[in-house]
Amino acid sequence: MSSQHTPRTSGEPPQSPSAPGTGDGDGLQAGLKNRHLSMIAIGGVIGAGLFIGSKAGIADAGPGILLSYALAGLLVVLVMRMLGEMAAAQPTSGSFSTYADRALGRWAGFTIGWLYWFFWSVVLAVEATAAAEILEGWAPAVPQWGWALLVMLVLTGTNLISVGSYGEFEFWFAGIKVVAIIAFIVIGVIAFAGLPPADHFAGTENLTGHGGFLPHGPGAILSGMLLVVFSFMGSEIVTLAAAESPNPVDAVRKAVNSVIWRIGLFYIGSIFVIVSLLPWDSKAIASEGPYVAVLNSLDIPYAGTVMDVVVLTAVLSCLNSGLYTASRMAFSLGERKDAPASFGRTNGRGVPTTAILASVAFGFVAVFFNYIAKDTVFEFLLNSSGAVALFVWLVICASQLRMRRRIEREAPEKLTVRMWLYPYLTWATIGLIVFVIGYMFTDEDGRIQMILSLAVAAVVLAASLVKDRIVRQRGEPLPGAPGTGGPSGEDGSGPDGAATGRVPEPAGEADPQPTRH
């Protein structure tokens, strides 16, 4: 652990998962229940991109999009396993940013933390606009910007009340998504078998016809992967949220162990239903969207309205989680003095008010640009955050390579979740991510996203280096981090060996409740 900004005196009871005494309250509170964490873990992998963006992947790769989803899903499973290993050993609201700080250096934690905050702040604008478009279709008397403003205000208020209110909203949002996907798959499997409402056994006619399984050739698998890989962003949210639960270690372990079936069922299962029941080049998929097109082909009444409700729920869920995630990352950055100190303060209910308001303020600015400068400023924001997911996953891999050795040396009993075939599979995952990054340069849209994302990353990295240099020149102590010459011990603990506020240490076997600092 690294030095805590406001040390806890000896004998003082443990408090929040993050640094106590960082504001008017006692830090973040364990306000998320087990059912909240379970549904956040399940729903976090079902983004609005599955409902909206999958049609572009199908058009680009045909039935081969199944392989694109499988490859992207494999990548996410491996990355989540690595992140779960670190998060189960040391739960913290800063998640991978904090681990990067410890394992790679302050520059890494600062850079990836701010890039992640930037990504989710832009997502707020995207999802608010998507929700507004649906709501305007239902109630055109209210202008689209009015609906965008309304949903942003409502969900901001929800997050400001307490972490429990965020968890409750997300529980129901995610629940609707899960039920809808499962119902869609059940209906699809029945239809695939030739039972009513279908009139014949579908077989493989749509999978192998219309140009074959790979109508655009094997290269389309990678092109499709570029379109779908970013829809998996959000799987890592549960590792941030777990720090605000009564038992973060168990929450992380369950989430990591279930990620395989979640991706297999919700993504690959539902996409299989689509490309099996409809030709991949069906005009209905392009005009109505894949899910509505399938339901309409089966004469399911009110399919369009039902899917609009589901998509709206998915959008609001992503907006809700995006605001939560951005604010917790901002809180962690403030706690580590990598952001204004006010970001790392909480109110009496354990809510990081300033971090939430700063995140939503950026979101409001992005929404504003979406209406007045959609093809310039807003497009730049979208493209410059487009490759952040790959950067985050790469940093997680690199951090796990170093953290694993450190945990094995200092506290091997905390390795309750282990990365498979370490370190070989970790290196293989790094190789796959680097390959995807390189492949993006061969794709016109991907090249733009990668260049702009790298440019923004370079600016943030430069800001980190300048900031640390200024701090050193002033003679101020840097929060400790391994390899950065900080004041803490090698393991990030304080002088007395006790865990400090940067990364909370879970309790040992004898204590069922994790110690939170």
Q: Give me 56's structure tokens.
A: 């572009």
- pLDDT band at 248, cuts 50/70/90? confident
47 secondary structure, DSSP code: -
- pLDDT band at 167, cuts 50/70/90? confident
What CA–CA distance (Å, rounded) separates 482 from 504?
16
Range among 40-49, 101-110, 220-229, 341-350 with highest mean pLDDT value: 101-110
In b/e form, how buried is each residue of 134-172, taking b as 16+ CB within 10 angstroms? bbbeeeeeeebbebbbebbeebbebbbebbbbbbbbbbe
CATH code for the domain of 208: 1.20.1740.10
pLDDT tens across 444-496, in order?
888 999 999 999 999 999 999 998 888 787 766 655 444 333 333 333 433 33
pLDDT at 215: 93
Domain assignment present for 516: no
Q: Is residue 287 scored above 50 in pLDDT?
A: yes
The H or E element spanning position 476 is: none
197: preceding bond cis by omega (within 30 degrees): yes
Give 3 or 249, the one with higher predicted confidence. 249
In b/e form, how buried is each residue of 344-356, taking b as 16+ CB within 10 angstroms? bbbeebbbbbbbb
Domain assignment present for 163: yes
- For residue 473, count other CB atoms closer than 10 A to its CB: 8
Domain assignment present for 512: no
pLDDT at 477: 62
- For residue 218, count other CB atoms closer than 10 A to its CB: 10
pLDDT at 347: 87
pLDDT at 20: 38
Q: Is residue 7 scored above 50 in pLDDT?
A: no
What CA–CA distance (Å, rounded) separates 124 from 261?
28
pLDDT at 479: 58
* 45 in Cβ contact with 233 (< 8 Å): no
Lowest mean pLDDT among 276-285, 331-340, 483-492: 483-492
- Residue of 103, 18, 43, 84 lying closest to 336 (CA atoms): 18
Domain assignment present for 138: yes
292 secondary structure, DSSP code: H
Q: What is the mean pLDDT of residues 218-247?
A: 84
Give the up-direction half-sphere exposure of residue 94: CA atoms within 13 A in the CB hemisphere.
34
332 secondary structure, DSSP code: H
Domain assignment present for 6: no
Domain assignment present for 13: no
Angle at 138 between CA 132 and CA 140, to 5 degrees: 75
What CA–CA distance (Å, rounded) separates 260 from 61?
23
Angle at 88 between CA 159 and CA 124, to 5 degrees: 30
Lowest mean pLDDT among 11-25, 44-58, 166-180: 11-25
Q: What is the mean pLDDT of residues 486-509?
A: 36
Domain assignment present for 502: no
Structurally, how many domains does the chain consist of?
Answer: 1
pLDDT at 26: 56
pLDDT tens across 351-390, in order?
899 999 999 999 889 989 988 888 888 889 888 888 899 9
Amino acid letter for position 20: P
One DSSP character per residue, 346-373 reads --TTS--HHHHHHHHHHHHHHHHHHHH-
- pLDDT band at 25, cuts 50/70/90? low
Backbone phi, psi, residue 443, to 5°: -105, 135
Q: Compute the chain's Rg from CA coordinates.
A: 23
pLDDT at 34: 80
Q: Is residue 424 scored above 50 in pLDDT?
A: yes
pLDDT at 460: 95
Alpha helices for 53-198 (secondary structure H): 54-61, 65-89, 95-103, 106-138, 144-161, 163-192
Give 204 or 132, the one with higher predicted confidence. 132
Q: What is the mean pLDDT of residues 145-165?
A: 90
Asked whether the whole model's pTM tops 0.75, one would answer: yes
Q: Is residue 47 scored above 90 in pLDDT?
A: no
Backbone phi, psi, residue 201, to 5°: -70, 125
pLDDT tens across 171-190, in order?
898 889 889 999 999 999 99
* 97 in Cβ contact with 332 (< 8 Å): yes
What CA–CA distance (Å, rounded) separates 295 from 291?
6
pLDDT at 476: 65
Alpha helices for 373-516 (secondary structure H): 379-384, 388-410, 424-440, 444-474
Domain assignment present for 509: no
Amino acid letter for position 22: T
Residue with the two structure tokens 């074959």: 212
Q: What is the mean pLDDT of residues 45-50?
A: 75
242 secondary structure, DSSP code: G
pLDDT at 54: 87
Lowest mean pLDDT among 42-56, 66-80, 126-140, 472-486: 472-486
pLDDT tens across 111-140, in order?
999 999 999 999 888 889 889 989 998 999
Q: Is residue 104 scored above 90 in pLDDT?
A: yes
What CA–CA distance (Å, rounded) separates 370 from 377?
8
- Mean pLDDT over all residues of the chain? 82
- pLDDT band at 1, cuts 50/70/90? very low
Q: What is the mean pLDDT of residues 160-164?
A: 88
Lowest mean pLDDT among 58-62, 100-104, 475-479: 475-479
Range of the domain at 439: 34-468
What CA–CA distance (Å, rounded) separates 420 from 401?
12
